[in-house]
Structure 1
């Protein structure tokens, strides 16, 4: 069963625990600047939204990489950057329509979410359940429930 990150922005408080967990998991330091997930703070609405690689099926990054440094991990299904192959050309950063691949000046390579080998630190660290790791087939289930509830709670003839 393939799994994917499911993000429910309505539950995010902006605590940045996901960013801290990610940077620690990948670099051994608590430094949000090194996180592969970011929490955007929309000041005008007060909304906080976690955002990271969606591991999309189309995988423009993977197809764009001229040296095949981005490959699919068989166990997790994540599109993973192999730093030993990456030449830092940044073509993948340009091809990603979501902007979730970042060039790291210090290494001269790119980084993106790799789902932490199937155990995402961001999901484990999220205290509100805004980030969960669920069956990839059901990432829209909450939205379906919400819509069904709205439709089912309409007064007759309304």
Structure 2
């Protein structure tokens, strides 16, 4: 079993404190462009959804990385990034089906959530409980949780 981030879109206020906490913990600057979490705004239905690396079971970013700068820790389930091995080809950005890997021209590095090594700062800064870091029952359970959250969020917002 592994732990992961669980998002409750109905609790997100769009304050973006999670983005600031992430960028500060990773790069010592309050810059949402350097954050591994991004709040997506769906104004037409009044919804905000924090998005970050899904720590995929079979991550495409890892499979396309020619230098093994991205590796999956089978014990924790976290896809880790080694900046020293990265050559900046950005294939991982293209390979991510969710668009949750970006590139910071300021840092000259990809930006990808690594769950802060098991102590996600975004969760600590989320005053409204929209982000939780908790045990996930299984791989299938992880996918169901994510799918149901989006279904509920968009279903309720569209009414």
Using structure 2 for the length normalisation, give the TM-score: 0.83
1:37-56 equivalent positions in 2, closer than 5 A? 37-56=37-56
Q: Distance in 1 between matches of 2:19 and 2:72?
A: 23
Deviates further, 105-114 or 70-79 = 70-79
Count of residue pairs the alignment pairs up: 144
Partner of residue 88, structure 1: 88
| 1:62-101 superposed matches below 5 A | 62-73=62-73, 76-101=76-101
Residue deviations 1:121-147 (CA, integer Å, cap 9, x gap): 111111111100011216539x59xx9
How far 1:106 moved relative to its partner? 2.8
Name the Cα RMSD after superposition: 2.0
**Does residue 134 in structure 1 map to residue 147 in structure 2?**
no
SS at match of 2:4: strand
How big is the shift at 1:74? Answer: 5.9
SS at match of 1:21: helix
Name segments (4+ residues, structure 1) moved above 4 Å.
Answer: none
Which structure would you say has the larger Rg?
1
Contact 1:19 1:39 in 2 (8 A): yes
Unmatched segments (≥5 aa) in structure 1: 148-158
User: Which ranges in structure 2 are unaligned for 5 or more consecutive residues?
Assistant: 153-159
- The structure in which a higher percent of residues are helix is 2
Question: SS state of the match for residue 44, structure 1?
Answer: helix
